[in-house]
Chain A
Amino acid sequence: MNPLRTFFGLFAGVLFGAGLLLSGMTQPSKVAGFLDVTGRWDPSLAFVMGGAVVVFGIGAWLFREREFAILGDVVERAPKPRIDARLIGGSALFGIGWGLSGYCPGPAVASLFSFDTGLLIFLATMAITMVAHDRFLAWRDADG
């Protein structure tokens, strides 16, 4: 743990959370309203993603030739653009979960202190599944 790095992480987290709260992402009904394209459609979340993508896109473009980040870390390079069944199947599964609950990981984590039982159930199964998936991959890769 490095106090400076933890503090910057904390600051980024607060900013991210405030953005989610302000934009309406922590209201599952609003997410469902965005996904409900054949019903009464609420386009708000397109503005969330649009605003975020534009800001991040410009910043990332300005940063494109940097080899090292401000705090000295090596800037992560883009992985090989591998379009496979894992990418498509995983994204489809995530979309189904998103539609079923109205939660994606960020808003779900940010909503923790509402102590809503349904949300806690969602977070628990999400966290367990993530760890199980990662442990399985590590076990498989270590074996073969």
Chain B
Amino acid sequence: MPRRETDLAPAHASPAVRKDVEAQPPIPLAPVGPRWHVVRMWISTLLLNAPMAAPTAADAPPVAVGAAVATAQLEAGTSSLGPLLVDTAHFTPWMSLAGGLMIGVSSLMVLWLFGQTAGISGITAAVVRGEGAKSGGWKLGLLVGLVGSGAVAAFAAPELITSSTSSWALLAVAGVCVGLGTRTGGGCTSGHGVCGLGRARPRSAIAVPVFMAFGALTVFALRVLGGGA
């Protein structure tokens, strides 16, 4: 009798496996007419940062909080306190490098043309204070260009702009932190991170590790406590 059961087991298992394979949807055929969705798909897979990772257990909302979550994630291998676990599914080195080069050229334009090492936080603050039209209006122009490029993307390639998963209350607090922090600290990721580091300024060499460390601590705390970005 036990022999028979082991004989039956593979025969029982194999149809289930085949059923799984058959359950996959067939590859859809492109409809006749303008194939914008094909162009969009092509752009997002070849050029842009389309998410390619399937959701995993770690993406599910945590049921426990605090140390229990941290321990569970360490045991599941989705968290590590030792070697870095590189997220290869979301890693986009070439697109990010290309974007970085463009940001560098733009910051350089501001230095070469207007003689300023200005970050976005300083420019935004100046425009919101109503001083955007000063010194020929380049700050206002820059901010309009920044918003405009995002507006084009919001319609042409909306997958490039995603929403934060944090709650509105957290985002309101975050806005206060970023607004006050960049003004008292004298810069943000562009002012300190690009211009300051690029000119080897000591203040930026302090500021960048500080905001990166506090950013990392905050993300860690959110992941462990739940409600993360």
Residues of A within 8 A of B (CB): 1-2, 4-33, 35-45, 47-57, 59-60, 63, 66, 68-71, 73-76, 78-79, 81-83, 86-106, 108-119, 121-131, 133-134
Hey, which chain B residues are within 8 Å of A104, CB to CB? 120, 178, 188-190
* B112 interfacial by beta-carbon distance below 8 Å: yes
Residue B64 is within 8 A (CB to CB) of chain A in the complex: no
- CB-CB under 8 A for A37 and B128, given A23-B95, A24-B96, A94-B211: no
**27 A-B Cβ contacts within 8 A?**
A1-B136, A6-B140, A17-B147, A18-B149, A22-B102, A22-B160, A23-B100, A28-B162, A39-B78, A44-B91, A49-B194, A53-B194, A53-B197, A54-B198, A57-B197, A60-B111, A76-B116, A87-B184, A91-B185, A91-B207, A93-B180, A96-B177, A98-B211, A103-B164, A105-B120, A126-B178, A129-B178
Question: In this assembly, does B66 line the interface, its C-beta being within 8 Å of a C-beta of chain A?
Answer: no
Q: Which residues of A contact B41 (CB under 8 A)?
A: none
A90 CB, min distance to chain B CBs, angstroms: 3
Q: Chain A contacts of B162 at CB under 8 A?
A: 26-29
Q: Which residue of A lies closest to B47 (CB)?
A: A22
Nearest CB of chain A from residue B11's CB, rounded to whole Å: 39
Chain B residues closer than 8 Å to A124, beta-carbon distance: 175
Residues of A contacting B97 in the complex (Cβ-Cβ under 8 angstroms): 23, 47-48, 50-51
A125 touches B175 (CB 8 A): yes
Q: Are B160 and A102 in contact (CB under 8 A)?
A: no
Interface contact A51-B160, CB-CB below 8 Å: no
Number of residues on chain B facing chain A (CB within 8 A): 128
Chain A minimum-CB-distance residue to B213 = A95
Interface status of B214 (Cβ within 8 A of chain A): yes
Whole-angstrom distance from the CB of A18 to the nearest CB of chain B? 5
A9 to chain B, nearest CB (A): 3
The answer to whether residues A109 and B147 also contact, given A1-B133, A30-B90 and a CB cut-off of 8 A, is yes
Are the C-beta atoms of B146 and A16 separated by less than 8 Å?
A: yes
Which one of B1-9, B17-25, B30-38, B165-173 is at the A interface?
B165-173
Question: Separation in Å of the B224 CB from the closest CB of chain A?
Answer: 9
Interface centre among B85, B95, B163 (most CB of A within 10 A): B163
Residues of chain A with a CB closer than 8 A to B107's CB? 16, 52, 55-56
Q: A9-B138, A52-B107 are in contact. List 20 more A-B contacts (CB 8 A).
A: A5-B136, A9-B145, A15-B106, A17-B148, A27-B161, A35-B216, A35-B219, A36-B220, A41-B85, A45-B96, A48-B97, A52-B193, A55-B107, A59-B111, A69-B113, A109-B124, A114-B163, A122-B172, A129-B179, A131-B128
Closest to A104 in B: B189
In the complex, what's the smallest C-beta–C-beta distance from A26 to chain B, in angstroms?
A: 5
Q: How far is the CB of A117 from chain B (nearest CB, A)?
A: 7
Are B120 and A131 in touch, CB under 8 angstroms?
no
* Cβ contacts under 8 Å, A48 to chain B: 96-97, 99-100, 103
